Structure 1
Amino acid sequence: SGHDYGKLSGRVIDDLLETTRELEGQEEKRDTADFALWKNAAPEHIMRWQSPWGVGYPGWHIECSAMATKYLGAQFDIHGGGMDLLFPHHESEIAQSTICNHTAPVRYWIHNNMITINGRKMGKSYNNVIKLTELFSGDHPILEKAYHPMTVRFFILQTHYRSTLDFSNEALQASEKGLKRLWDAYEKLGNLSMDNSQQSIDTVLDEKIRKLIAEFADFMNDDFSTAKVLANMFEIVPVINSMKDTIIPVSAISKETFELLQTSFKTWLEDIFGLQSVSEADNAKLQGVMQLLIDIRKEAKGRKDFATSDKIRNQLASLGITLKDEKGGEMSWSVE
């Protein structure tokens, strides 16, 4: 056919033929390098369909080409998969789709690396296979606790897809704290507004933020580097926190940069990375209860009943809920 078989994986077909193991049905092939598009089905085989070539079923590689062409068209942008599928599966998928549709089926191939658990390859023989449902429930002897789906997603996003992904309690708990820090800043950013002060713009800070945001797309275009995008976001977090605490005025950056910052964080965190809040603060009933306690505490402080005011704050703290007195007599709260 003239197709450059081996282009994706870098394999040389002559070398492959010399080192390949003996497989069944080789004598039925016209060429030893061929792979099966259709296989004869034995009488007991559960997959069996009539075809011009007899009763049988499709080969593994052609199944994927058929599904991809039907649902995504003759060519689509991104095809993912584990690096163990690169050869022969994806190499064969390219060959048959290209010859059938007269165009390369995929513009970009993304092959993720393997998963390890506490530094060891995940496998049944090591008794360290962890299902996603077990990660979410904590129901596995290796796990110290349950981990929210967003924590797991964030943990994966912090590692480049071609790097080994090592699951451990320490790493997951670090991601849990990192996600909370980033999401807290994102929520603070959403509550900020541009003030009307005439303070001059800090051009160095303004340009720094615009540069960090512009690099989001650059990093994703450079081999899907989600980890670098998040690193830039974390570099912006102290600025947002300082604005919330009025250490840095919002007007230190231009109105355009501030709006760009708000929209970029939403677009990348929610729309592109698919992250959501994991805080109990999302629970509407909890919000109602917290607002009631805050109102009672404000009334107690107004009566100079500091014993009651401190009791509310301290007992909430023992439950992992922090009350913070803000400027102007307002109060905010967060779940630790």
Structure 2
Amino acid sequence: MGTDAHDQVVVVTGASGGVGRAVARRYGSRGARVALLARGEEGLEAAAAEVRARGGKALAVPVDVADFDAVDEAAERVESELGPIDVWVNDAFTSVFAPFTEIGPEEFARVTEVSYLGYVYGTKAALSRMLPRDRGAVVQVGSALAYRGIPLQTAYCGAKHAIQGFNEALRCELLATGSRVRTTMVQLPAVNTPQFDWVLSRLRRRAQPVPPIYQPEVVAGAVVYAADHPERREYWVGGSTVATLIANAVAPGLLDRYLARTGFSSQQTDQVRDGHQPANLWEPADADVDYGAHGDFDDRAVSRSPQVWASQHHGLLLGGATVAAGVIAATMMRRSR
């Protein structure tokens, strides 16, 4: 990137909790100047304190990423107070856990505005400042669901698919103009974040990530690596991500049937959902309560992913991906019979 890690100015959206919070911590440990963008002020202030405790400089900026003018003003404030932006990480999202028929049009629109257009607006604010300097990197935090839709998450899957197409098109434009600004995407597996405590849910039982579950620090390491090496178009985190994406490319119809059989139960625990669970669709859930980076699945989540190393050393990834795809395809064939 051409900028010493201790001198980097980094913007992280969705920084008050989950993956965004873990990414902010990681940059704090590098001594970076970190701007934290999110709606929840309690979560933001707690995240900023963690960045400072790790040796970084923090600027907490309350903002709704669905509002482009607010995002652009936030970017202007960051450059005024911290300096020119080197890295912009788009991570903020919201969603609804429910069958498509139980999601209202205004709810679907809100998810799209935050989880897709929020990335578009963040990228636009970043590029308007990076392009004249001809340097910088934008990291889109994606998901295996950017390639493979699953039941009960139509709004979220639609947004991630849209980000994927947007990012690919933008990457081509940057390459065509010879710009040294880069955009890359990090595709995630299931992660142990607080989203399962605050995403609007209409499920009878409590929502959960589909195992295997990874800790947000695993993802944070991959995001920071991607920002340091944005020449690669995307990175895959977790063996389950590799297996799912390859299997979907090889046998998407088979995967449809497999997910129809397992996708509903695998995303819910045996516990009845709390009817008073907060929902962050319209208002932040962490305005008065700090949820941190981790969800409630620490006892089931893993803190390492050998596949992340393989993704960063791409020549070794293909062999592992092929084996993983074969295993998952064979499993689905058995269960689909």
Compute the TM-score of the two structures, normalised by the length of structure 1: 0.24
Structure number with greater CO (CA < 8 Å, separation at least 6) is: 2
**Which of these two proteins has the greater Rg computed from alpha carbons?**
1
Compute the TM-score of the two structures, normalised by the length of structure 2: 0.24
Greater share of strand residues, 1 or 2? 2
